[in-house]
């Protein structure tokens, strides 16, 4: 994603938490740990999450597919939510070297 090869990503580990923590170190990544469809939709619509993280020990296979379908089917609403994304982008820009750089 940081190199522009993908617009969205999916990461899975035991809980999803470690993957999200690591992914969010990369400039431009907004990773969300999700274990239900409501959060999947809100992560996209309100936070423009571009990486979905799920825990294999938390979410069963059927629910994981429902979450992924919901997340992929939702889109960023912009509007009042854009201010939040702008604040996140400003925080990234203020960090030394702008956070983790990938080349």
For the annotated catalytic residues, the residue numbers are 13, 46
Q: Confirm if 42 and 82 have CB atoms less than 8 A apart.
A: no
Cα dihedral: 23, 67, 54, 57 (round 10): 180
Q: What is the CA radius of gyration of the chain?
A: 14
From the list 29, 30, 37, the residue with the least C-alpha distance to 73 is: 37
> What CA–CA distance (Å, rounded) separates 14 from 52?
14
């Amino acid at each position: 994603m940081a190199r522009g090869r993908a617009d969205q990503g999916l990461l899975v580990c035991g809980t999803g938490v470690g993957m999200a923590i690591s992914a969010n170190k990369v400039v431009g990544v907004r990773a969300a740990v999700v274990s239900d469809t409501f959060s999947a939709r809100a992560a996209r619509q309100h936070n423009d999450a571009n990486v979905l993280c799920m825990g294999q020990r938390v979410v069963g296979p059927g629910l994981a597919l429902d979450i992924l379908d919901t997340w992929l089917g939702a889109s960023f609403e912009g509007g009042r939510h854009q201010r939040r994304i702008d604040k996140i982008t400003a925080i990234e820009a203020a960090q030394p070297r702008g956070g983790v750089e990938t080349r």
